[in-house]
Amino acid sequence: MTEINCRKSNRFTGTSRPTDYHVLHNEIGFLVNDLHGLVHFLSYVYQRSTTAVSVVAPICYARLAATQMSQFIKFNEMSNTSSSHDGEHL
């Protein structure tokens, strides 16, 4: 298992958040320096931020997609529940 520790140096004190990534299976065969560079570059491609983010963009996008699907499922369940009660009068 390979461990990558990424620390971004920002010009403002206290704004850097160290992030640890653990490579469980290196199927492609990246070198540690290459992985560190990839993580560094991916931290700058998140479209909702103009600066580097502490977690790489694919993880941020996965979280957004999961949140949106969660909201969609909740809305769908609520609409199914309300439509099943439409014929009933209290």
Q: Are 43 and 6 in contact (CB under 8 A)?
A: yes
- Eight-class DSSP state of 27: S
Evaluate if pTM is beyond 0.85: no
Q: What is the pLDDT of residues 34-73, one digit of tens each?
A: 888 888 888 888 888 777 777 888 888 899 999 999 998 9
What angle is formed at CA 62 by the lines to CA 41 and CA 38, rounded to 5 degrees? 15
Cβ neighbours, 10 Å, residue 43? 20
| Sheet strands (E) in 1-90 | 2-6, 19-23
